[in-house]
Amino acid sequence: MLELRHVTKTFAKGTVNEHTALRDVSLTLQDDDFITILGSNGAGKSTLFGAIAGTFYVDEGEILLDGKHLEGLPEHKRARAVGTLFQDPMKGTAPDLTIEENLSLACNQTRRFPLAMAVQKKDLQFYREQLSAFQMGLEDRMKMKVGLLSGGQRQALTLLMATIAHPKLLLLDEHTAALDPATAEKVMAITVQIVREQKIPTMMITHNMGQALTTGNRTIMMDAGQIILDIAGDERKEMTVPKLMTLYSGARGKELDNDRMLLSQ
């Protein structure tokens, strides 16, 4: 279970660029929650993920994962429990390392003795099985440098790397936005499958409103550093994109503004 209690973050404090990106945010994520997150540009969605993953330290508030305080820990100490995926497929893998070396990095942070061989024969079968689930042919190219893969293949590999060590939380920041529609759909299907099979509590930022309402079990909407809408259950089942738009403008007194927002259902 993830708990955010009164989390506030202000960037560039004391300068003309001072900007409060998170304003007293509180949120509880149950273990079986798959939350989708909507919001206009600059609403603070990525900042929310940054606060949890530890890209920066928050100014105020507490962040607890399974009862353990995260807010004081550096990024790399949270990474074992928090898997993160970004929009840019180049970000999550090392291009000059092979597929199996990348997977070994993701797998062995806790269990391997530092001077043991990184890639061991006994792991290869496991990597192969995991990769073959993607049906992208990656399992036959494990000695290939990751830099030679396509964006979709790299993102699928990143997804596997983020989940292979059983994180307690998965954060997806528009992780299919940079892919072509067909590949995006494929990576999305893999995502849903992995989350379901491994039962990882997940948060996913998307600009596709239809997808936000149909994926997962709960949807929140952010604006100006706050959570302005949090729907689940029947309320969510009956929600439509036009209704969501009306709710937003009713709550904020302005139109939803996101240059990439997809309004289609």
Partner 1 sequence: MSLTMFLGGLQEGLFYALLAMGVFISFRILNTPDLTTEGSYTLGVAVSAVLTVAGHPVLGLLCAFLAGAAAGSVTGLLQTKVGIHPILAGILTMSGLYTINTAVMGGKPDVTLTKTTIFNKLYEVFNINLQAFNRDRQAFTMAKEITVLIVGAVLALLVLALLIWFFRTHIGLCIRATGNNEAMVRSSSINAGGMKVLGLAVANGCTALAGGVMTQSGGFATISNGAGVLVVGLASVIIGEAIVGRRGVTVGLISAILGSVLYQCLIRLATSLNIFPAYYLKLVSAVIVAIALALPMIRENLGRHHRKGGKSHA
Residues that bind partner 1 (CB under 8 A): 53, 55, 75-77, 79-80, 84, 90-97, 101-102, 104-106, 108-110, 112-119
Q: How far is the CB of 233 from ligand ADP (least distance, A)?
A: 25
* DSSP code per residue over 127-141: HHHHHHTTTSSGGG-
**Residue 26, binding choice from ligand ADP, Mg ion, partner 1, none, Cβ under 5 to 8 Å by partner class:** none
Q: How far is the CB of 175 from ligand ADP (least distance, A)?
A: 13
Q: Does 54 bind ligand ADP (CB under 6 A)?
A: no
Of 46, 102, 176, 215, the residue at the interface with Mg ion (CB under 5 A) is 46
DSSP 16: T
Q: How far is the CB of 106 from partner 1 (least distance, A)?
A: 7
Binding mask 17-46 for ligand ADP (x = CB under 6 A): --x-x-----------------x-xxxxxx
Residues in the chain: 265
Q: How far is CA 63 from CA 60, 104, 197, in A?
A: 10, 29, 26
Nearest residue to 213 via CA among 229, 232, 190? 232
Closest CB to partner 1 among residues 59, 75 = 75
Can you tell me the distance from the alpha carbon of 39 to that of 45, in angstroms, rounded to the nearest whole number?
7
Nearest residue to 58 via CA among 23, 8, 21, 18? 8
What type of residue sits at position 219?
T
Q: How far is the CB of 260 from ligand ADP (least distance, A)?
A: 10
DSSP β-bridge partners for residue 204: 36, 172
Q: How far is the CB of 99 from partner 1 (least distance, A)?
A: 13
Can you tell me the distance from the alpha carbon of 208 to that of 154, in angstroms, rounded to the nearest whole number?
22
Residues that bind ligand ADP (CB under 6 A): 11-12, 19, 21, 39, 41-47
